[in-house]
Chains A and B, each alone.
Chain A
């Protein structure tokens, strides 16, 4: 059957189940109750502290087929996933589902666990590195479920992703289960992506290498939600967790794109008091913040809030009074951690507060502008952030689809040619974010505006910006690089791409090689 974006999707996918096809960004309404784990109790005098991960497995009686969940706030410095799965393998467990919010190169041992049958299902929002490559090549019998950040929170809260045991890597914890992300050697800042797991998993285990005296403060995950606390030598590698300071790119083409994107925001009349903004953590996306900041300073504008993955650059803007608040679901560098710990105007929020479409209002709904990337975009403005050259999985929506749906103006910044590859296609290989939520494409050779926004196009043209038809930009790219031969994939479905509401927007098929 074809979904709303004309993607061919089977009605039933083996290893996934019945498909609810994508019907539009806001077409599918919720029709369920919130999921409710069993009520627990602990008697005074009883303790939660366990001495090893193995003890955790035995205490909870973790069995074959269970779903274990993990957050990705440690990024490529994570140590908990590998340690937990090593114990699972040692104990001879099989058919586990790993619900890890993002998968990085450090998670390479997953491949071995998949080959030996310890892990047979993956549920995630983003994949990069060897695991992504292996999945693309078909190593898993069951397709991976690819969600958005908001969608994962929704799935957990509404019962589509039932977690048996949530292993929460805790930079700091006390013996009764209070957890925060701002203290200890592996401090990472906001624990936004761990909060839904802590609320709804059957068992919640805090894994820490930094146990403090009771009671811990500040508290991100309260003791009332945590079953056990276990100490290990190292939960992660600080160098892989945070960069020192995030720097604005010096790459000239990226800077030109960022400058143009800022001019688009200005021409749309958005740079005024109360302005709200979300940007990515690097490249042309973050560089746009640099040019927007200059405009805000020149026009003496005070913004209301900046949202997202927070970097030191946004912290600077908060501290200089350019924004009143920061809403933080993930911290990227040391400045972000320092600020969230000390500044009451720097707020830690859960993934659901940030982006879930099925609650009484998420933060992306209040955004004026979001700046996003893309590996591909088609002439209907549908965006691919999952697969790249050859159909290999190299990413995932993360918060992409969520922010695009919520923001008043969604801007995609991208080079017209990535290396030699034109970024504009007739059809993207993997639809991730639907074109109806994408307003503007900014490249170094021109701007395209979604025909759904004629008034925005007028504003940009009046401001003298280089607005072109998206077809025109596609032809320009092909004139420079030549027309690319379309990628041919295999037949087998290796990943199901869910939109934030749980409908299926596309599938990823096995790579041919």
Chain B
């Protein structure tokens, strides 16, 4: 069970980007995702899934994520999320995909 050490953020509000903030979640609350997206109707579900899969791969259990999406592609979402998790101390900087 991997815990976050501290809240952290990565990404910007520029077009095609996603700003992701992660913070430690209370024990046993699971992954709580607050998503705001320019393309919520068309890609909301897909974004949730990409975030969930990436978090699961890193083995994090209790996590609060706030994501403000400006039309980011999957690879961008993954990259920004991993950067936020690395900044939060969950994964080492060298871990990539």
CA distance A419 to B71 in the complex (A): 5
Contact with A along B60-72 (1 / 0, CB 8 A): 0000000000111
Contacts of A482 in B (CB 8 A): 43, 46, 73-74
Q: Nearest residue in A to B16 (C-beta to C-beta)? A: A419
Report yes or no: A419 in contact with B73, Cβ–Cβ below 8 A.
no
CA distance A449 to B71 in the complex (A): 28
Report yes or no: B73 in contact with A481, Cβ–Cβ below 8 A.
yes
Contacts of B16 in A (CB 8 A): 419-420
Contacts of A488 in B (CB 8 A): 41
Name A448-492 residues within 8 Å CB distance of B.
Answer: 480-482, 484-488
* Complex partner residue of B39 from A480, A484, A486, CB under 8 angstroms: A484
CA distance A482 to B74 in the complex (A): 8
Report yes or no: A421 in contact with B73, Cβ–Cβ below 8 A.
no
Contact with A along B1-36 (1 / 0, CB 8 A): 000000000000001100000000000000000000
A389 in the interface (beta carbon within 8 A): yes
B38 in the interface (beta carbon within 8 A): yes
CA distance A481 to B43 in the complex (A): 9
In the complex, what's the smallest C-beta–C-beta distance from B51 to chain A, in angstroms? 14
Known contacts A480-B73, A482-B74; is A419 also within 8 Å of B46 by CB? no
Name B44-61 residues within 8 Å CB distance of A.
Answer: 44-46
Q: Nearest residue in A to B44 (C-beta to C-beta)? A: A485
CA distance A41 to B54 in the complex (A): 78
Interface size counted on chain A using CB atoms at 8 A: 13
A361 in the interface (beta carbon within 8 A): no
* Complex partner residue of A389 from B39, B45, B46, B74, CB under 8 angstroms: B39
Report yes or no: B41 in contact with A420, Cβ–Cβ below 8 A.
no
Contacts of A486 in B (CB 8 A): 42
Q: Nearest residue in A to B37 (C-beta to C-beta)? A: A420
CA distance A488 to B74 in the complex (A): 23
In the complex, what's the smallest C-beta–C-beta distance from B73 to chain A, in angstroms? 6
In the complex, what's the smallest C-beta–C-beta distance from B49 to chain A, in angstroms? 10
CA distance A390 to B71 in the complex (A): 14
Report yes or no: A421 in contact with B39, Cβ–Cβ below 8 A.
yes
Contacts of A420 in B (CB 8 A): 16, 38-39, 42-43, 71-73
Contacts of B41 in A (CB 8 A): 389-390, 485, 487-488
Contacts of B45 in A (CB 8 A): 485
Report yes or no: B70 in contact with A389, Cβ–Cβ below 8 A.
no
CA distance A8 to B7 in the complex (A): 51
Contacts of A390 in B (CB 8 A): 41
Contacts of B74 in A (CB 8 A): 482
In the complex, what's the smallest C-beta–C-beta distance from A254 to chain B, in angstroms? 13
Contacts of A389 in B (CB 8 A): 38-39, 41-42
Q: Nearest residue in B to A485 (C-beta to C-beta)? A: B42
Contacts of B71 in A (CB 8 A): 419-421
CA distance A260 to B70 in the complex (A): 27
CA distance A363 to B71 in the complex (A): 40
Q: Nearest residue in B to A391 (C-beta to C-beta)? A: B41
CA distance A419 to B70 in the complex (A): 7
Contacts of B43 in A (CB 8 A): 420, 481-482, 484-485
Q: Which of B15, B41, B45, B73 has the most CB of A within 10 A?
A: B41
CA distance A488 to B40 in the complex (A): 12
Contacts of B42 in A (CB 8 A): 389, 420-421, 484-487
CA distance A420 to B71 in the complex (A): 5
CA distance A390 to B41 in the complex (A): 7
CA distance A420 to B40 in the complex (A): 11
Contacts of A485 in B (CB 8 A): 41-46
CA distance A482 to B16 in the complex (A): 14
CA distance A488 to B41 in the complex (A): 9
CA distance A481 to B72 in the complex (A): 9
CA distance A488 to B38 in the complex (A): 16
Q: Nearest residue in A to B70 (C-beta to C-beta)? A: A419
CA distance A484 to B39 in the complex (A): 9
CA distance A486 to B16 in the complex (A): 20
Q: Nearest residue in A to B38 (C-beta to C-beta)? A: A419
In the complex, what's the smallest C-beta–C-beta distance from B18 to chain A, in angstroms? 10
Contacts of B38 in A (CB 8 A): 389, 419-420
Q: Which of A389, A480, A488 has the most CB of B within 10 A?
A: A389
CA distance A480 to B39 in the complex (A): 15
Q: Which of B39, B70, B71, B73 has the most CB of A within 10 A?
A: B39
CA distance A419 to B72 in the complex (A): 8
Q: Nearest residue in B to A513 (C-beta to C-beta)? A: B41
Name A151-194 residues within 8 Å CB distance of B.
Answer: none
Contacts of B70 in A (CB 8 A): 419
CA distance A484 to B38 in the complex (A): 13
Report B's interface with A, CB cutoff 8 A.
15-16, 38-39, 41-46, 70-74
Apart from A419-B38, A421-B39, A482-B74, what 16 extra A-B contacts exist at CB < 8 Å? A389-B39, A389-B42, A390-B41, A419-B39, A420-B16, A420-B38, A420-B39, A420-B72, A421-B71, A481-B73, A482-B43, A482-B46, A484-B42, A485-B42, A486-B42, A488-B41
Query: 12 A-B Cβ contacts within 8 A?
Result: A389-B39, A390-B41, A419-B70, A420-B16, A420-B39, A420-B42, A480-B73, A481-B43, A481-B73, A484-B39, A485-B43, A485-B44
Report the 10 A-B pairs with minimum CB-CB distance, sorted nearest first.
A419-B71, A484-B42, A420-B71, A482-B46, A420-B39, A485-B42, A390-B41, A487-B41, A421-B39, A419-B38
Report A's interface with B, CB cutoff 8 A.
389-390, 419-421, 480-482, 484-488
